[in-house]
Amino acid sequence: MTETPDRASAVIIGAGIVGNSLAYHLARLGWTQLVLLDKGPMPNPGGSTGHASNFIFPIEYSKMMMELTRDSTEQYKELGVFTRSGGIEVARTDARMQELRRRCTQAKSWGIPAEFLSPAGVRKLVPYLDDSVILGGAYFPTVGVVDSLRAGTLMRERAQQLDALTVVAGAEVLGIDKTADGRVAGVRTSKGDIATDVVAICCGVWSPRVARMAGARIPLTPIVHQMISVGPIALFDGTEGEIGYPIVRDVDENMYERQHGGDMEVGSYAHRPIIVAPDDIPSIDEAVLSPTEMPFTSDDFDPQLERALELMPDLLGDERAGVRYAINGLISMTPDGHPVLGETPEVPGLWSVAASWIKEGPGIGRAVAEWMSGVTPEVDIHEADICRFYPHQRTTAHVTARAREAFNKMYGIVHPSEQWQSGRPVRVSPVYQQERDLGAVFHETAGWERPMWYQHNRDLLDRYAGKLMDRGSEWESRWWSPIINAEHLAMRDRAALFDLSAFAILDITGPGALHAVQRVAVAQMQVPVGKVVYTSFLDDAGGIRADLTIMRLGPRHFRVVTGGATGMADLKWISDHLPDDGSAAVTDVTSAWTTFGLWGPKAREILRHLTDDDIANAAFPFGTCREIEAEGMTVLASRISYVGELGFELYLPIEQGRRLWEALFSAGLAYGMVPAGIGVYGTTGRLEKGYRAYGAELDAQYNLVEAGMTRPKVKEQDFVGKAGYLRQRAAPPAAILCTLTVDDHASASGELRYMLGGEPVLSAAGEPLTDAKGRRSYVTSAGSGPSVGKHLLLAYLPPQQALAGTPLLVEYLGEQYPVTVAVAGSTPLFDPANERVRS
């Protein structure tokens, strides 16, 4: 038996696909003295990897997940454990037919081969499928299966060949020790203690349990996925290798059928969500099969048998084929379906590498290994950052409620704006009741209830009839209302009041505050007190890491205002880059401040009713902030706008928010001010102005030059990503972010269709556009531009297409629509001179 080393550069807990992959990539990146532990035996320690169905569909709507899957597939191929089988998603309903078209279209955006098939076409590939029960299918020829246990073994061996890794099987982690200042100090195991500064938890469904030993939380829950194996299948007798027919996903029934040698595996996500607390997972000794292969509950699966028999009546209905294996397999689910990666916010040195499927494991191993090595991961994994969670999102109640809700949507038709129903409301603004009274339709971000639009404004529909670009199809009008466009027009005409309480607000204070913000911000932060700076943060490689505004409130006081969704990650980023000498501190003051936005030509006049301070443009110009007295309260006002209008962001203590809101409301009445929702703020207003959004246009794979966000000068002071930024500026951009307008919305059936984002942009000849870095052009954001009367799309285009007036095509749900490049670069389509914001 291997001796347990008493010291390690890093201890990786868990030898599933993720832990093995992490060990290998760390070794490859030069780490030595690594230790990989598992409480179970090798090569199958009993976690979810051991019972995975091991197939990989390349198609994902999330770019991050798609890229992690793509990288993983390449790694599996390189390891020689990938077998291509092809895979088909079949449709039993019209709604699913549209969804499959959408998936094929999305595949084109990512450069993934996909083909739409008729029922007969499906049957040709899967002769045992009854094509009378389906309407069609989407065929993904690059789908394949892998041997994930073998892959793990090979990766482990490679790390050992590099003399970098000690593998200790049968070592159960008993505790994680910390230093006095809370850093990781070591791991105590049943086979000895190991001193280390770095611990990576790759424990899948056990991760929350292990993290808790160190006082950290990993928000995931084990949940049951049922699978049976039926055999022997006569047709598969004599099949070469593991699989000879495409994998079928019967997505309308939340099932899949996958050949595995002489058997057919049938898996289901259709049953009731069965959540198992991490503490209730049996030990290896107690388990009948393995700890994550829990006893099968046939009641839950039985209804699915009929569905499976419908689809493959002869093959599965063979009386001589028996259910030879049936499990309630445990898998991990997170509140948002994404993995949980990165250093835990609670314990420096403790990393979470959890909630991965087989299809992302190696990619995640690589990305996190890079991250742990101080190298910016090639795949932008900010959507998987463990820091994204707010405290309430890490509670067991929240995690399990969301897992319960999401489980049956595993193969569901999930709208891009789909809203969660469970665990709401949690965070509400001080005027939540007022908003409800106004008929607010709330969408949730980071737990905040944000009005998307107000039903109360429906009388505006008549007023703006003809300009509302109303959507006829159910799909595009889902989670949407023409009232958004009406609110937009009212704002442009007069004024609108926004509730922006979901902003995350972070104060950076102390003698080193300036140094701290200079270090992370691209923009020059040595600015006068009262200046508002819009800036990006870059990662070490120069990729875009954040997009936010910073107010200088005092010589040693800066206030960062950022989106609620990214607030926690930005907090961690700033915190990680604070000066080592303790001269600056960052504090999350989100819960102290509420924020309203007042914008529109009448904004100043309305605000004047509440204040005697001089708020004229000369005294209070654009890009500045100052305290004003308003309605007997002190309010921090900021001349800034994300909607391209004159106006203010108004910050005040949360308990005073209601008073200001009501005062603004009554003052605004005479001016025709309306309350407006995030539909205007986040989509229509910003798209007309070409404002970029983090996570849509802005991510680590595009740079500021390509996004058209460079400033004339680069500041002298050093900042994170500066070297990369300088390189980016020195080279011509490989792509340029453009605003496109849709020229004709009519589909073949004559219905007007409106893109929602993610669609591939094609040449006028219908060919995908690929830039010099191999990135395909796709729609990063889409939405109405009511003031310009066009449906607007943002997309990065290769320079040769990035010319105003260039005619192109956009493919949407399988059909192509003509579009035109309206603007190349950041010039707004609406008010190109930016006169309104500066008025």
Partner 1 sequence: MDILVLVKRVPMVGGTMVLTADGQDVDTRMSGFTVSPHEECAVEEAVQVTERLGGTVTVLTLGPPEAADQLRDMLALGAHRGVLLETDGREWGPVATAAAIAAAIGELAPAAFPLILAGNEAADTGGYQVGIRLAHALGRPCVTGVKRLEIAGDMLRAWREYGGGQEEFELALPAVVSVKEGINLPRYPSLPGRLRAKRAQIEVRKPAWQPDGLRKIALRVPAGSAQRARVLGQGAGAVPELIRVLGDIGVLAPGGRADTDGIVA
Partner 2 sequence: MSKPVLCLVEVDHGEIAATSQRALAVARSLARADPARADLARAGLASAGLASADLASADLARADPASARLPAVGGLTAVVFGPPGDSADRTAADLACQGVTELCLVASDELTCYAPVAWARAIEQLIAARSAAAVVAPATDRGAEVLAHLGALTGLPVAANCVAAAATGDQNWRLRRHRWAGSLLEDAVLAAPVALLTVAADAVADDGSALLPVAVADDAVADDGAGPEPAIAAPDASGQVFAPVSGGATIPAADVPVTTFAPALQAADLRVRATQSAGQGGGMSLATARVVVGGGRGVGGPDGFAALEELAGLLGGVVGVSRVVTSQGWRPHRQQVGQTGTKISPELYLACGISGAIQHMAGCQSAKHIVAVNTDPDAPIMSRAEYAVIGDLNEVIPALVAAIRAAGGQG
CA distances from 363 to 106, 381, 410 (A): 21, 10, 21
Which residue of 127, 295, 554, 766 would you call a contact of partner 1, by CB under 8 A?
295
The CA distance from 368 to 726, in Å, is 26
Long-range residue pairs from 670-673, CB within 8 A, at least 24 positions apart, any chain: 671/494, 671/495, 671/602, 671/605, 671/606, 672/490, 672/493, 672/494, 672/495, 672/602, 673/494, 673/495, 673/496, 673/497, 673/600, 673/602, 673/606
Site string for partner 1, 764-783 (x = CB under 8 A): --------------------
Find which of partner 1, partner 2, none residue 40 binds, CB within 5 to 8 Å per kind.
Answer: partner 2
Among 174, 234, 288, 670, binds partner 1 (CB under 8 A): 288
| Count of beta carbons in the 10 Å neighbourhood of residue 462 | 8
Binding mask 333-372 toward partner 2 (x if CB under 8 A, else -) reads ----------------------------------------
The nearest distance, CB 258 to partner 1, in angstroms, is 16
42/723 with CB nearer partner 2: 42
Annotated active-site residue 299? The verdict is no
Residue 462 partner contact from partner 1, partner 2, none using kind-dependent CB cut-offs of 5 to 8 Å: none
Q: The tokens 């209905």 sit on which residue? A: 317
CA quadruple 122, 124, 126, 129: dihedral sign: positive
- 298 touches partner 1 by CB under 8 A: yes
State the binding partner of 41 from partner 1, partner 2, none, CB within 5 to 8 A by kind: partner 2
Q: Say which of 24, 76, 245, 256 is annotated catalytic.
A: 256
- Of 194 and 331, nearer to partner 2 (C-beta) is 194
What the block records as the tokens of 95 is: 């709604």
Tokens 């809370």, residue located: 182
Q: Which is nearer to partner 1, 285 or 718 (CB)?
A: 285
Tell me, yes or no, if 225 is annotated catalytic. Answer: yes
Which of 122, 230, 354, 560 is close enough to bind partner 1 by CB under 8 A?
230
Confirm whether 263 is a catalytic residue: no
Alpha-helical segments (H) within 81-147: 94-110, 119-125
CA dihedral 59, 678, 544, 506 (to 10 degrees): -130
Least Å distance between CB 214 and partner 2? 24
- Going by their DSSP bridges, the two strands 115-117 and 173-178 should be labelled as unpaired
* Least distance between partner 2 and beta carbon 320 (Å): 15
Distance CA 113, CA 598 (A): 47
Based on the shown chain and the rule CB under 8 A, indicate whether residue 305 belongs to the binding site for partner 1.
Answer: yes
DSSP-based three-state secondary structure for 518? helix
Q: Any contact of residue 284 with partner 1 (CB under 8 A)?
A: yes
What is the C-alpha separation between 364 and 662, in angstroms, rounded? 49
Q: Is 295 in the site for partner 2 (CB under 8 A)?
A: no
Nearest-approach distance from CB 326 to partner 1, in angstroms: 9
Q: Does 280 bind partner 1 (CB under 8 A)?
A: yes
Q: Give yes or no for a contact between 90 and 411, defined as CB atoms under 8 angstroms apart.
A: no
Q: Which residue lies nearer to partner 2 by CB, 127 or 192?
A: 192
Segment 111 to 170, residues that bind partner 2, using CB under 8 A:
169-170
Residue 587, CB-side half-sphere exposure with 13 Å CA sphere = 12
Burial category of 730 from C-beta neighbours within 10 Å (exposed 0-12, middle 13-18, buried 19 and up): exposed
> How big, in percent rounded to 5, are the helix, strand and coil portions of the chain?
30, 30, 40
- Beta partners for residue 146, in sequence order: 82
Closest distance to partner 1 from the beta carbon of 288 (Å): 5
40-48, 155-163, 513-521, 805-813 -> range binding partner 2 (CB under 8 A): 40-48
321 binds partner 1 (CB under 8 A): yes
Q: Characterize the bridge pairing of strands 322-333 and 184-189.
A: unpaired
Does 1 participate in binding partner 2 (rule CB under 8 A)?
Answer: yes
Q: How far is the CB of 398 from partner 1 (least distance, A)?
A: 24
323 near partner 1, judged by CB under 8 A: yes
Cis upstream peptide for 43 (omega within 30°): yes
Question: Which is catalytic among the residues 24, 131, 139, 225?
Answer: 225
Phi, psi (deg, nearest 5) at residue 204 = 55, -125
- We find the least distance from the C-beta atom of residue 83 to partner 2, in angstroms, to be 22
Selecting among 547, 570, 771, 831, the annotated active-site residue is 547
Binder to partner 2 among 284, 585, 592, 693 (CB under 8 A)? 284
Q: Using the rule CB under 8 A, which residue among 6, 7, 41, 770 binds partner 2?
A: 41
Residues lying near partner 2 in the complex (CB under 8 A): 1, 39-42, 169-170, 284-285
Active-site annotation, residues: 225, 256, 547
Residues lying near partner 1 in the complex (CB under 8 A): 1, 230, 276, 280-289, 294-299, 302, 305-306, 308-309, 316-324
